[in-house]
Amino acid sequence: MSKTLFSDDHEYVKIEGDTGTVGITDYAQNALGDVVYVELPKVGAKIAKGEQAGVVESVKSASEVYAPVSGEVVAVNDALAGDPAAVNQDPLGKGWFYKVKIGNQNELVALKDEAAYADYTKDL
């Protein structure tokens, strides 16, 4: 069973065992507008929580994507190169960015569950 957690920087991590699938939230894609380009980390890259792990560009702006959890990148969503709009259409599904082998499970406690994230974004 998977569990999805959210960062204050509007990234999510969907936890399945010791692997997390990372992308930007529906709130973030909505704020960005039409996504036209996504820069992803390289498979094998070691990333630290809070560190830049990619970039997402829209018709309005470009924004850094920060790692919600530390670990090693084990897969990237290469389909986004040809279809960056998937981020807008299905951010928590086919619009995922990368998968990470979670290096420190203790970092997950600082992330928000869906209810806490919804509460956090309602006043933004």
pLDDT digits (tens, 9 = 90+) for 39-78: 999 999 999 999 999 999 999 999 999 999 999 999 999 9
pLDDT > 70 fraction of the chain, expressed in percent and rounded: 99
Q: Say how many CA atoms lie within 13 Å of 118 toward its Cβ.
A: 4
The range of the structural domain enclosing residue 12 comes to 3-106
Domain presence at residue 111: no
Amino acid at 41: P
4 - beta bridge partners?
A: 14
| Total number of domains in the chain | 1
> What pTM value is reported for the model?
0.96
Domain presence at residue 41: yes
Q: Which two tokens stand for residue 117?
A: 């994230």
Domain presence at residue 52: yes
> What CATH number did the domain enclosing 29 receive?
2.40.50.100
Domain presence at residue 13: yes
| Whole-angstrom distance, CA of residue 41 vs CA of residue 104 | 19
Domain presence at residue 11: yes
56 - beta bridge partners?
A: 38, 63
